[in-house]
Amino acid sequence: MRSIDFLTHDHTLFRDREVFEADFVPEQFGHREAQVRELAFLAAPGLEGNTPSCAVLRGPPGTGKTTSVLRLFSEIEEATRRLAPVHVNCQNERTRYAVFARVLEHLAGHPLPTTGTPLPEVLRRIARRCQERKCALLVCLDDANYLAAGDELNAVLSTLLRLHESFRSVRAGVFAVISDMDLDLRREVDARVFSVFHPAEVLFPPYTADEVHEILAQRVGQGLFPGAMDRIVAFAGAEGDIRAGIDLVRKSAEHAGREGRYRVLARDVVAVAGQVRAPALRRIAARLRKPERDLLVVLGRISAAGGAAMGPAEAYRAVREEIPLSYTTFRERLKTFEKDGILALPLVAGEGRRREIAFRYDPMAVMEACQEYTVP
Ligand SMILES: Nc1ncnc2c1ncn2[C@@H]1O[C@H](COP(=O)(O)OP(=O)(O)O)[C@@H](O)[C@H]1O
Ligand SMILES: [Mg+2]
């Protein structure tokens, strides 16, 4: 078979390949109605050119934050010219200059000249565009935690929210998206800036297993001919991040394509599952501090070896033999892991307030992810 034939085969396997791309915005977007409605409500003053309200969107990775914003922003763009919504991915734009350059590019509709326009000039041009268009600005700082290092987040927020002080009738609101559940914006942001920001908090909890099932089934139905759906959902459910499921679907179909088949079989899923391992887990591990990762490695080992469910007290006794830490610190760290979605601490049925430690990922995968980041 010529290599070009693989590609053609691959095409026939996908009804629509684009639906598995990371930046695909799905048509069907359930389970987030409340959050999208809340965001629309906050943006609403902007539709008449007034100042949009600010928000912090908070939730672990893969909970639909970016998609909610992108969908709302495209509705706004269709509905009015009085509000300019700009989505900025702070993983890519990590400095105040990069953020504002992105905002100006969006307003101008073309990239900035690479010669480097100084920041005050960039701000002036942003303001001029807004004044000419008589529009308010709504800037989404997506994954704003990437700006928290240094003083960039403070600078971006205070500049945006004070634009109207330097430029008449230029009004801006900010949606800050935070995937790092440990980040406390009140601590990161100056009290003075926070008081002009005073964001409403919009929470994005992890999807339940049923929701994951439904979302993936929709995506598969849209993008792929029927295949090994149950297998995929079983893998993706264990990963806890919907993105892993979508990735797995795409890679499984590619694998089938490479073997010249039109149907995705369970063995395609098995063959590629290793490559899709826990992107969420790696992201979480990267955010944890070293003592936290060390603790997870020990907990993972205990859990992998133990078999039977263990409670926090028993786990603490075992951990203390390897890591000196107080019970209070231990409990705090468990809470962190719970918030990040690595662990659950469910009540043990029929045993009152007794809880058990349950890994939401394969403990071996957790240990691997943590150890990867321990390597200097
Ligand atoms: N409710 C949903 N329905 C359909 N697809 C979803 C839903 N929530 C998330 N997704 C998909 O999951 C992936 C991750 O969502 P995203 O919005 O990027 O999450 P976050 O920004 O919270 O990390 C995207 O591919 C998105 O299309
Ligand atoms: Mg996102």
- The verdict on the CB of residue 60 being under 6 Å from ligand 1 is no
Which atom of ligand 1 is nearest the CA belonging to 177? 21
- Please state the domain extents for the chain: 3-21+207-276, 33-203, 281-374
The model's pTM: 0.67
Going by CA atoms, what residue is nearest to atom 4 of ligand 1? 29
Count of alpha carbons within 13 Å of 177, Cβ hemisphere only?
25
The CATH topology of domain 281-374 is: Arc Repressor Mutant, subunit A (1.10.10)
Q: How far is the CA of 330 from the centre of ligand 2 (A)?
A: 30
At a CB cut-off of 8 Å and minimum separation 6, what does 19 contact? 26, 219, 222, 223
Torsion over CA: 314, 319, 322, 326 (sign): negative
The CATH topology of domain 3-21+207-276 is: Helicase, Ruva Protein; domain 3 (1.10.8)
Pairing of strands 200-203, 83-89: unpaired
Give residue 67's pLDDT band: very low, low, confident or very high (50, 70, 90): very high
pLDDT tens digits, one per residue of 333-374: 999 998 887 888 888 777 778 888 888 777 887 888 888 765
Q: What are the two backbone dihedrals, phi and then psi, of residue 224, each rounded to the nearest 5 degrees?
A: -145, 150
User: Which CATH class for the 33-203 domain?
Assistant: alpha beta
pLDDT tens digits, one per residue of 106-157: 999 988 776 678 999 999 999 999 999 999 999 999 999 999 877 899 999 9
- The verdict on the CB of residue 250 being under 6 Å from ligand 1 is no
Integer Cα distance of 7 and 268 in angstroms? 17
CA-closest candidate to residue 232, choices 274, 266, 271: 266
